[in-house]
Amino acid sequence: MKDGPVIANIAALLGDPARANMLTALMDGRALTVSELANAAGVTLQTASGHLSKLEAAGLVVAEKQGRHRYYRLSGGDVAQVLEGLMGLAQRTGAVRVRTGPRDPALRQARVCYDHLAGERGVELLEALADGQLVADRDNPLLTEKGRTFFAEFGIDTSGLGKGRRPLCRACLDWSERRHHLGGALGAAILDKMLERGWVRREEGRVLAFSQDGLSAFRKSFGIA
pLDDT at 112: 95
Q: Is residue 191 within 8 Å of 115, Cβ to Cβ?
A: yes
The model's confidence at residue 92, banded by pLDDT at 50, 70 and 90, is confident
Mean pLDDT of 34-51: 96
Q: List pLDDT tens digits, range 140-151.
A: 999 999 999 999
The pLDDT of residue 98 is above 70: no
The pLDDT of residue 37 is above 70: yes
Q: Whole-angstrom Cα distance, residue 66 to residue 89? A: 37
pLDDT at 67: 84
Q: Could you give the 3-state DSSP secondary structure of residue 39?
A: helix
- Name, in order, each residue with C-beta under 8 angstroms of 184's C-beta and a sequence gap of 6 or more: 116, 166, 167, 168, 169, 170
Q: Is residue 172 within 8 Å of 182, Cβ to Cβ?
A: yes
Q: Whole-angstrom Cα distance, residue 121 to residue 108? A: 9
The pLDDT of residue 3 is above 90: no
pLDDT at 6: 80
Q: List pLDDT tens digits, range 110-146.
A: 999 999 999 999 999 999 999 999 999 988 999 999 9
Mean pLDDT of 58-83: 92
The model's confidence at residue 18, banded by pLDDT at 50, 70 and 90, is very high
Beta strand 111-113 with 61-66 is: unpaired
* Predicted TM-score (pTM) of this structure: 0.84
pLDDT at 100: 55
- All structural domains of the chain, each given as residue ranges with its CATH number in brackets, are 8-75 (1.10.10.10), 79-222 (no CATH)
Which H helix or E strand runs over 223?
Answer: none
The pLDDT of residue 68 is above 90: no
pLDDT at 162: 74
C-alpha 62: how far from its chain's center? 17
Q: Where are the beta strands (DSSP E) in 83-195?
A: 111-113, 116-118, 135-136, 142-143, 170-173, 180-183
